[in-house]
Amino acid sequence: MTEEERRRFEEQDLKESVSRRDFLKIVAASFAALATAGCKLRPPKEKILPYVEQPEDAQPGLARWYASTCGGCSAACGALVKSRDGRPIKMEGNPEHPLSRGGLCARGQATILDLYDGQRLMHPLSGGVQASWTALDAEVERGLAEAARAGKKVRVLTETVVSPSLQAAIDAFCRRHGAEHVVYDSMSCAAIIEAHGRTHGTAVLPHYHFDRARAIVSFDADFLGTWISPVEYTKAWTSNRVPDRDGLMSWHAQFEPRLSVTGANADLRAALKPSEQAAAILALGRLIARERGWKGEMPPVLPHSLDESLLKRAADKLLAAPRRSLVVCGSQDPAAQVAVNWINDLLGNYNQTMDVCCPSFQRQGRSGALEGLVREMERGEVGALVVAGVNPAYDNELAGRFSNAMKKVKFSAAVSERQDETASLCAVTAAASHALESWGDARPSMGVESLFQPLVSPFFDTRPALESFLAWAGRPASAYDFVKARWQREIFPQRKEFATFQAFWDESVRRGAWPTGLVEKPKPAFKADSLKGFSASPKPSAGALEFVAYPSVALFDGRQANNPWLQELPDPVTKVSWGNYACFSPADAKRLGLEDGRMVSLSGPAGTAELPACVQPGQAEGTVSVPLGYGRTKAGPIAANYPLVKFLPIERDRPGGVDVYPLSAQPAVSVAVLSGSSELAKTQTYDSMTVPFTGQTRDVARDTTLSAYLTQATAGNSAEEAASSNGLWPRHKYEGHKWGLAVNLSACTGCAGCVVACQAENNVPVVGKAEVRKRREMHWIRIDRYFKETDGPTGPEVSFQPLMCQQCDNAPCETVCPVLATSHSSEGLNMQVYNRCVGTRYCANNCPYKVRRFNWFDYAHQDLLQNMALNPDVTVRTRGVMEKCSFCVQRIYAAKFQAREDNRRLKEGDVVPACAQSCPADAIVFGDLNDPQSRVSKLARDEHSYRVLSELGVGPSVFYQVKVRNKDEEKA
């Protein structure tokens, strides 16, 4: 080709071709047009997979409730489990259960999330690797046979077994292998049992009846929070705490080293060091013995610093209610418990307010049981050990010794849901099913039989503990057959109303629990010679503080440490979530120069723990207390406090808190203040209702005394409702329903059951420690806690106030939303439309109650399996969207639809929001304010009711009843 030709070609090319840029432009534009027009963007294709054979009861989209029992702890409360499309998604209280009577605590409700915990074992393990059940059973047989051949002991270690069926299986196992069953409780009541052996000759845990008690004195027994059976006790206790007009209200005094939920609700509360507890009990006992004409020898006088006048007042109240009073004590010292039994016997409370003939079986561990076993193990006498349902390598002060002694045990098997601290020391782990996956039963106290009903087949290759023991006992059977057979044998004959066993069984499965016949026995007499063995506790050395390790309301003993709901649940009293801390009294904090979050080191012979400090009013001076249940090493990522939002930094300071079990048996620790600090993840940093700078008090949570209330119903309630109706907008008219809520502050104990109930019902996300520190927690209902300092040794006075969206009539949030994402419904709800919200957050800024929550991130469950626990009836919110309490609008509509289907009107009780359903205190009432006969409208009209910040004129729909404290006249 010549140069000339080439030039011509190039010119031709240039002339004819579209330039590259232009070509791309055209292609892009055409593609965009085609994409928009032809290949329409559509959501991904979805499949519908119907049943092949639809079970009669299964209806997609329709929720059903099944009665079962809560497997959260040995209290064995009744549960109703909501199942949607074959998945259990929510735990609620079962009103037909004789003990819990419709209540369920925060921990119990959170067990639903444990079911979907990806950290659960998915198959049996042998030597840490997957095994088959046949191989595992063979290995267990071999291990046990070998121990027998070597002439070594075989031991079974469990916590309290409330299930008679499981107990029978363990007994059968023990008979076959010559084993011995050792029982211990991480939160023990061994001292009470031992004391009853000494004083009444019957070593049992009494069944306490707080509902029968008119005067209650508790020495460090947190019976509304964590002690034995808190839901049952809360139900019973609150039944006497809402004052009638005739003045019937129980009186409750609490003497304790740290401010517990129970102490926060007491009428008289005084701080009392653990070392002086026995002395104070004896002092109280002497006051009562003198009045009741005690003939025996008086116990010795021990020194204590408690104000005698307080003990005198407690004694007077107890003496005024003979046979209708109750003294309880959480001490681990049998001598102190003996003194408590003595007082109760003097007051005639036996078989009245505390029943030893029909005792409780909820805590059966004996003192020294675990220590005895550890000694046997250390001596190398134990050849085989089966550990079931407990975590002795973590949850007690002997954990370290136990872990070491495990090396001397030739064969060990764990029956566990998780490969926890203990299971990972064992040769084999029989992966146990969750309580919602297995049949079972429970006898929490004499006269109550409760049934576990599986809601779903096991997700993984797991087996109920009952079946494992049956298999190893050489009597393999299904849990269902075994439990059913026991019920046919033992309980069916007691229910004469059923003609056939099938009818009885069907009804049992429907209702979940039965009251069974109680035996009337004469009460055993008090043995006067048991009143001995008292000695003054040694004073801690200078610079040391008395040490109290206590179970927290959220984590209890730590078994649910990998549960994000519970980790983020703020403690009712300290309001701290995520991780533990050391509580100091304000005086000690001042002396040591501590403030919230300052790191301290607690050390004693058993070890050292470094924790952030928390300055806690009500803490006894000279004591330091730390919640247990944290610092687990083998519980999973949540317990280790990983971030829930992917790109946020991992919490490097104290992941998941610190394990203080090693220190827990120590009476005192020395405290060293460290240089660093770690901000507490507190959800409430402001403890008082007094406004700083102005000194003005806003009575947000109102209270009064019983005597004032009896004189005047409006006591403590100032009528400062906004008189003016000069609103900017016309008033709303509510022609149909007008939904409203009433919260009785006298009943609310602050137990936080409603917080978890709401979280489960409304898919409320968990945000993690870093975000809580930025005040970005998402709880739709929170419980505000206020302290009011009082003069003298008592105090502070504590008020709990559950606060959810107040559904204002003149809602400040509604007027500022630029996109009308929040507006008013014809039934008085402030609606929040997620798909319309653009996230300006004006509404949250304008809300006087701070109840609106903003999704700063997409808070997906880190554990994808836990998405299965989401409630399909409620939208999962995305990032950038505001949300808040909706009064459980999904339940309102579900009830409406049902009523329409039944061709009737909505009636009282059709709509029960999640918070009210599970409230163990029955403090929350929901209903129609337009119906003059409804409970809520009656409460709203009551002179005793008020609305928070009503002076703003926002017209809230939530009515609070003034808290009544049963205080003496002079203290009013």
Q: In 524-606, at which residue ranges do the beta strands (DSSP E only) sit? A: 544-551, 576-577, 582-584, 598-604
Are the C-beta atoms of residues 698 and 689 closer than 8 Å to each other?
Answer: yes
Q: Which residues pair with 945 in a beta bridge?
A: 961
Determine the distance from the C-alpha atom of residue 936 to the mean position of all C-alpha atoms in its chain, rounded to a whole number.
Answer: 27
Provide the mask over 729-768, with x wherever binding to another protein is found by CB under 8 A and - wherever it is not.
------xxx-------------------------------
Rounded-to-integer distance, Cα 9 and Cα 15, Å: 10
Q: Does 647 bind another protein (CB under 8 A)?
A: no
- Residue with Cβ nearer another protein (55 or 695): 55
Nearer to another protein, 58 or 298 (CB): 58
Please tell me whether residue 6 binds another protein under the rule CB under 8 A.
no
Q: Is 22 in the site for another protein (CB under 8 A)?
A: yes
Cα–Cα separations (whole angstroms), residue 124 to 115, 341, 386, 633: 17, 46, 15, 21
Extended beta strands in 398-485, E state: 411-416, 428-431, 440-442, 448-452
> In terms of DSSP bridges, do strands 963-965 and 703-705 run parallel, antiparallel, or are they unpaired?
parallel
**Which amino acid makes up residue 935?**
R
- Residue 816 makes contact with another protein by CB under 8 A: no
In this structure, how many other beta carbons lie within 10 angstroms of the beta carbon of residue 401?
Answer: 19
Structure tokens at 58: 């299964």
In angstroms, give the least distance from the CB of 104 to another protein.
Answer: 24
- Positions in 79-118 near another protein (CB under 8 A): none
Report helix angle 334-346 to 190-200, nearest 10. 50
In whole angstroms, what separates CA 728 from the centre of its chain? 44
The nearer residue to another protein, 710 or 831, going by C-beta atoms, is 831
For another protein (CB under 8 A), the number of binding residues is 59
Contact by Cβ (8 Å): 848, 954: yes
For residues 246 and 735, which CB has a smaller minimum distance to another protein in the complex? 735
CB-wise, 40 or 652, nearer to another protein?
40
Of 27, 32, 135, 587, the residue at the interface with another protein (CB under 8 A) is 32
Q: Which one, 899 or 952, has the nearer CB to another protein?
A: 899
From residue 764 to residue 803, what is the string marking binding to another protein with x (rule CB under 8 A)?
----------------------------------------
Closest CA to 802 of 739, 760, 746, 737: 746
Q: Is 344 helix (H, G, I), strand (E, B) or coil?
A: helix
Considering only residues 1, 4, 40, 246, which one is a binding residue for another protein as defined by CB under 8 A?
40
CB of 871 to another protein, least distance (A): 11
Tell me the window of 37-45, 214-222, 332-340, 945-953 that interacts with another protein (CB under 8 A).
Answer: 37-45
> Which residue of 27, 33, 298, 525 would you call a contact of another protein, by CB under 8 A?
33
Binds another protein (CB under 8 A): choice among 1, 3, 41, 723 = 41
d(CA 552, CA 577): 11
Nearest-approach distance from CB 410 to another protein, in angstroms = 42
- As measured in angstroms, the least distance from the Cβ of 54 to another protein is 4
Q: How far is the CB of 738 from another protein (least distance, A)?
A: 11
- Closer CB to another protein, 40 or 496, in the complex: 40
Tell me if the bond preceding 796 is cis, omega within 30° of 0: yes
If one asks whether residue 30 binds another protein (CB under 8 A), the answer comes out as yes
* CA neighbor of 195 nearest in space, from 328, 330, 339, 326: 339
By beta-carbon proximity to another protein, the closer residue of 114 and 827 is: 827
Terminal-residue alpha carbon distance, the chain = 114
Query: Is 726 or 835 the residue whose CB approaches another protein more closely?
Result: 835
Provide the minimum distance between the beta carbon of 731 and another protein in the complex, in angstroms, as a whole number. Answer: 17
Task: Say if residues 949 and 699 touch (Cβ distance below 8 Å).
Answer: no
Q: What string marks each residue from 896 to 935 as x (binds another protein by CB under 8 A) or -?
A: xx-xxx-x-xx-----------------------------
Quick one: 794 or 866, whose CB is closer to another protein? Answer: 866
Q: Which of 279/881 has CB closer to another protein?
A: 881
**Shortest approach of another protein to residue 950 CB, angstroms?**
24
| Token pair for 676 | 């660093």
Binding mask 823-862 for another protein (x = CB under 8 A): x-xxx-x-x-xxxx--------------------------
Where in 44-73 is the site for another protein (CB under 8 A)? 45-54, 59-62
Rg of the chain over all Cα atoms, to the nearest angstrom: 31
Residues 6+ away with beta carbon under 8 Å from 318: 215, 217, 284, 288, 325, 327, 343, 347
Query: What binding mask, one character per residue, do residues 861-900 give for another protein by CB under 8 A, x or -?
Result: ------------xxxx---------x--xx--x--xx-xx
Please, are residues 436 and 456 in contact by the beta-carbon 8 Å criterion? Answer: yes
Q: Which of 1, 37, 519, 719 binds another protein (CB under 8 A)?
A: 37
Q: Which 3 state secondary structure label does DSSP give 327?
A: strand
Residue-wise burial string across 872-894, b where 16 or more C-beta atoms lie within 10 A, e elsewhere: ebbbebeebbbbbbbbbbbbbeb
Angle between helices 277-292 and 308-319 (to 10 degrees): 50
- Pair 461, 468: CB distance under 8 Å: no
In the complex with another protein, the residue whose CB is nearer, 497 or 902, is 902
Would you say 181 or 896 has its CB closer to another protein? 896
Least CB distance to another protein at residue 42 (A): 7
Shortest distance in whole angstroms from residue 433 CB to another protein: 24
DSSP string, 549-565: EEEBTTTBTTTTTT-HH
**What stretches of 78-222 adopt beta strand conformation (E)?**
78-84, 87-93, 125-126, 129-130, 153-158, 180-183, 205-208, 215-219
Q: For residue 89, how far is the Cα from the chain centroid? A: 17
| Smallest separation (angstroms) from another protein to the CB of 836 | 8
Q: Which lies closer to another protein via its Cβ, residue 406 or residue 936?
A: 936
**C-beta of 23 vs 729, nearer to another protein:** 23
The nearer residue to another protein, 64 or 489, going by C-beta atoms, is: 64
User: Which residues in this chain contact another protein in the complex, by CB under 8 A?
Assistant: 15, 18, 22, 26, 29-30, 32-34, 36-38, 40-43, 45-54, 59-62, 735-737, 823, 825-827, 829, 831, 833-836, 873-876, 886, 889-890, 893, 896-897, 899-901, 903, 905-906
